[in-house]
Each structure stands twice: as C-alpha cells, then as structure tokens.
C-alpha cells in the first residue's frame, strides 16, 4: 500500500527553522546565485556577475568598473544577497537529504515566479501533488511510493489581488522563468486554454477555480489574463488554507496550501469524480487520502474532525465511494482514522 516515515523532533526543528527563514523573503530569485568575477578589459578592470536561468541560459550582469565607488556599494549588496541565498541553499540541501519532499528546479522556479507576482499572498493556492508533498512536510512525515509529477496546479476561490502581473498575463509571467511556456490547446475546438506547458517538457501549469455548474469548463480569470478549469467541490478545499513552503534544490518558496484535513477529504471527492474504474488517478487519490488520514489521526485528529464537520450533505454523499476504498486500504492499520472515516459511510 504505502510506507511512511515520521521525522523526529530534531529534524522537524530544522524544517521549522528553514520555513521561518524562507517565509521572510520578499522575493525568491529566479536565477542561480552565480558568481562574481573581475575581468581585465580594454580601458581597465570591470566586475560582472554570471548566473543561470531555469532554461540553462547564462545571464551576464554588468556591475561596474573596479575604480568606481558605486561598484563597491553594489558588490557589498550583492555579496549580502548571495550569502543569504547560501544559507537557504544549505537548508534546502539538508532537508532534501533528510527526506523531506522537494520539487525539481524548473518546478520550483515556476512556483517562485507566481510567489514573486503575489499570487499566493493574494488568494492563489497551490493544490495537487506538490501541495500533497508540502502538507506531508508540515505533518513531519515522508511517504513512499510518492507519485511523481511535473504538473503545477494553482487554484483560486475569489479574485486574486495581484499587482505584479506583466503585460500579457499569466503566460508572460511564466515566461520570466526562462522556460519556453506555451498555451496548451484544449480538446474542445475554440475553447480557451486553461493550461500552460513548457515546450518539449512535461512541466505544466494548470489553473483551476470552483464551479457549481457544469464541471471541467473554461472560466475566465481576468486578473491573471487567463482562463481556468472549473472543478466541483473546490470551494470546500480552498475555504481554509495554511502558509507553508515548497523546497527546491537551492531555493525555498513560500506558498499557500489547503488545510490538511480538507485536502484529505477532497481527495475522496476526486475519487468519485474520476471516470473509469481502472483510472490510475483514482487509486492515487485513495492512497494519498489513506496516508493523510492515518498520519493526521495519529496525533492531530482534530484536523480531520474539523474537516469532516465542515462538509455539507452533498460533499458527504460525494466522498462515500472514496471512503469505502480508503477503509479497505486501512484494514490492517485500524485506528483513529478508521473510526473517524466510518462516520461518513
């Protein structure tokens, strides 16, 4: 089924320290820290900073002539910035070695571009598999097998208050990563795209919003200059959120993710919404819900109890098939999670 490993108090303390440091950032660099070099050129000695973007392109930044006082001030500022980046990079490396969930570099930079624009602070929420990994980190547990994905799922319940969106909307914002994002054509001719994909790669950004009407239809999101896919029961998931971080190779990005208990139960609603009994995503939803339920119920059962109490009758009806499946997965691990979920059957 699944295997989980609980992190001890000392390891969770390292995570808490890294989280506090990361959440103090106003901006997460989209480029690597790079290096500063002094070079002899015609006319004197000059200072340059060399960095790389997520697409692997080297970016050259001219700092100034060594003889200029302004160059010295710039160097002081840059060295301080690089030392701060080095501390976060050290934390991210430690957490990855310990076994905390982390995203690949391209995904991390993509999420960082959204954070820098104010998406997560303005009402956007990271959902999907990356949010699942973030929530596991918050609960102090690692899981295997872990579903690998390059999809970045971002949802919003209401208008996102965003002030840093460039002209051209969300697509141009994503292009700032240095990755060649393009709109993904929809299956329905003429329907606006709700996804953005990196050309030649699997990395994809999906935008979602709650809907009480016809599911899986395109809905305009004017503040992002884009369209999103409507998903039923998403309002339940987004109604309560927590602040957390997404760990990368050398950077850590502040994000907003759903309440762990609600995320668990929303997975059960997705189980029912998926079509086809042999749909592999249905089993993935059930496995994630089972692991979350057993983890939460072990020492933070109030998170699951609060989520259960927050469901309306329609949501309760929708999660029943998923609950039945999760109970079979938990049959050899009966405990508080089983007792709480049985109230929904």
Predicted structure pTM score: 0.93
d(CA 7, CA 13): 10
pLDDT of 66-110, one tens digit each?
999 999 999 999 999 999 999 999 999 999 999 999 999 999 999
Decide if 252 contacts 93 (C-beta within 8 A).
no
Percent of the chain with pLDDT over 90: 72
pLDDT of 282-304, one tens digit each?
888 999 999 999 999 988 999 99
Q: What is the pLDDT of residue 290?
A: 92
pLDDT of 319-337, one tens digit each?
999 999 999 988 866 688 9
Quick one: average pLDDT of 268-279? 80
Residue 8, CA distances (Å) to 13, 44, 99, 294 in order: 9, 56, 12, 17
d(CA 206, CA 131): 13
Report residue 171's pLDDT band, with 50, 70 and 90 as the boundaries. Answer: very high
Q: What is the pLDDT of residue 334?
A: 61
DSSP state of 6: E
More confident residue, 190 or 319: 319
């Amino acid at each position: 089924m699944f295997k989980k490993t609980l992190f001890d108090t000392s390891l969770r303390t390292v995570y808490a320290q890294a989280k506090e440091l990361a959440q103090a950032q106003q901006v997460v660099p989209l480029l690597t820290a790079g290096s500063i070099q002094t070079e002899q050129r015609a006319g004197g000695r000059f200072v340059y900073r060399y960095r790389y973007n997520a697409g692997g392109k080297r970016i050259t930044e001219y700092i100034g002539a060594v003889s200029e006082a302004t160059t010295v001030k710039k160097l002081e500022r840059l060295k301080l910035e690089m030392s701060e980046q080095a501390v976060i990079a050290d934390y991210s490396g430690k957490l990855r070695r310990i076994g905390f969930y982390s995203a690949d570099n391209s995904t991390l930079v993509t999420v960082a571009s959204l954070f820098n624009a104010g998406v997560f602070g303005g009402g956007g929420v990271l959902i999907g598999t990356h949010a699942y990994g973030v929530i596991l980190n918050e609960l102090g547990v690692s899981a295997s097998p872990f579903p690998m994905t390059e999809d970045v799922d971002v949802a919003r319940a209401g208008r996102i208050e965003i002030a840093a969106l460039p002209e051209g909307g969300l697509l141009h914002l994503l292009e700032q990563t240095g990755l060649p994002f393009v709109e993904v054509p929809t299956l329905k001719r003429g329907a606006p795209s709700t996804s953005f994909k990196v050309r030649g790669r699997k990395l994809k950004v999906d935008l979602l919003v709650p809907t009480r009407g016809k599911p899986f239809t395109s809905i305009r999101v004017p503040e992002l200059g884009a369209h999103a896919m409507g998903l039923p029961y998403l309002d339940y998931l987004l109604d309560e959120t927590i602040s957390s971080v997404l760990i990368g190779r050398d950077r850590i990005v502040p994000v907003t993710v759903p309440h762990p208990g609600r995320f668990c139960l929303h997975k059960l609603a997705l189980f029912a919404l998926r079509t086809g009994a042999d749909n592999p995503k249905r089993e993935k939803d059930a496995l994630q819900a089972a692991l979350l339920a057993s983890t939460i119920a072990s020492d933070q059962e109030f998170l699951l109890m609060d989520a259960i109490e927050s469901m309306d009758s329609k949501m309760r009806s929708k999660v029943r098939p998923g609950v039945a499946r999760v109970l079979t997965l938990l049959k050899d691990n009966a405990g508080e999670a089983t007792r709480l979920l049985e109230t929904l059957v």
